[in-house]
Amino acid sequence: MLLADMLLHPDFNTRMQAVEKMQESEWLYRTLIETSPDPIIMYNLRGELLTANTQAARTYGLSSVDELLREVKTVFDFLTDDGKAFAEASFRRTLREGTPQRNEYLIRVWGGKTIAAEMHSSIVRTATGEPCAFISVVRDITERKRSEEEREKYIRELQQALPKIKTLSALLPICASCKKIRDDKGYWNQIEAYIKDHSDAEFSHAFVLIV
C-alpha cells in the first residue's frame, strides 16, 4: 500500500485519533499532578513505585522524579518501621472495601529526618474495573501536629496549676487579734466588708448567708 493510500485509509485515521487522545490524556494527567502543591505518588499493588510528581521528590529531599524513583523502590521505604505494618493493613482494607483511606504516618525523608504526614490513598482501576494500583496524595502536617502538641501541653499545665490557684486563693491573711482581713493593697478590712466586696454573701445578724 502506498503511503498516500495509508494516510487516506479510515483505520489509519482512527488509530491516529486514538493515539492523539492517549497523548492528550497523558499530558492532562501529568499537568494535573505536577500542578498539585502536595506530593502525589502512584504504586502497584505490591507497593512498588510507578511514578510521582516533582513535589514528592522535593518533599523527600531530592531534585527530580527520576532521582526519587532510583532511590525509593517501594512506598514502604517512605515509612518508619512502626508505620509499615499499619500501612499494609490499610492497603488491604482499601482493596477490600474499595473506598479511599486517610491515615497519618511519620515519613522518612532524605537525610534521616522524619515529617508528620497525612496520606489520602485511593485505588486505580483498569477499564474493566479491576484494581491495578494505588495513588496517594501526601500532605505535610508537621507544623499542625507541633501546634496541637503545644496546645495540649498548655492545657495540661493549666489543669495542673488550677488546683494550686484555688488553694492559694483560699488563703486569706487574717489578723489573729482583731480578725480583720488584709486586702491586696495592704489595707485591713472588717471581715464582713471584705467578704461582701469579694462575694455575693449577705449578712443577717451574726450569720453569713451565701447566695
Question: Are 91 and 138 in the same domain?
Answer: yes
Where are the extended beta strands (E) located within the chain? 40-44, 49-52, 101-108, 114-125, 131-140, 181-182, 188-189, 202-204, 207-209
The residue-averaged pLDDT of 95-115 equals 88
- State the sign of the Cα–Cα–Cα–Cα dihedral 51, 52, 54, 59: negative
List the one residue out of 68, 46, 11 whose CA is nearest residue 19. 11
pLDDT, residue 13, reads: 60
Residue found under cell 489520602: 120
Closest CA to 68 of 59, 205, 162, 175: 59
Other Cβ atoms within 10 Å of 132 Cβ, number: 13
Q: Is 105 helix (H, G, I), strand (E, B) or coil?
A: strand
Q: What band does 2 get if pLDDT is binned at 50, 70 and 90? A: very low
For residue 196, is it within any domain? yes
What is the band of 40 on the pLDDT scale with cuts at 50, 70, 90?
very high
Task: Express as a percent the part of the chain with pLDDT over 70.
Answer: 64
100/94 Cα distance (integer angstroms): 6
For the stretch 49-100, pLDDT in tens is: 999 999 999 999 998 999 999 999 999 999 988 888 888 888 888 888 888 8
Give buried/exposed letters for 184-194 (b at 16+ CB in 10 A, else e). eeeeebebeeb
Which residue matches cell numbers 500501612?
87
Q: Are residues 49 and 83 part of one domain? A: yes
| pLDDT higher than 70, residue 184 | no
Q: Are 42 and 127 within one domain? A: yes
Highest mean pLDDT among 18-22, 26-30, 36-40, 189-193: 36-40
Do 46 and 101 fall into the same domain?
yes
Q: Give the CATH number for residue 92.
A: 3.30.450.20
Residue 43 has pLDDT above 90, yes or no: yes
pLDDT in tens, 128-157: 999 999 999 999 999 988 888 888 887 787
**pTM given for the model:** 0.60
Task: Determine, yes or no, domain membership for 26.
Answer: no
Residues 6 or more apart from 86 whose CB is under 8 A from it?
103, 105
Same domain, yes or no: 182 and 90: no
Average pLDDT estimate for 36-48: 92
- Give the confidence band of 123 by pLDDT, cuts at 50, 70, 90: very high
Same domain, 67 and 133: yes
Q: Which three cell numbers stand for residue 130?
A: 479491576
Residue 139 lies in a domain: yes
pLDDT in tens, 150-182: 888 877 877 776 666 555 455 566 666 666 766
Same domain for 58 and 122, yes or no, is yes
DSSP classification of residue 5 = H
- Residue 13 in any domain: the answer is no
* Residue 207 pLDDT grade (very low, low, confident, very high; cuts 50, 70, 90): very low
* 18, 52, 68, 132, 151 from 136: Cα distances, Å: 28, 9, 16, 14, 29
Task: Note down the domain range covering 57.
Answer: 37-146
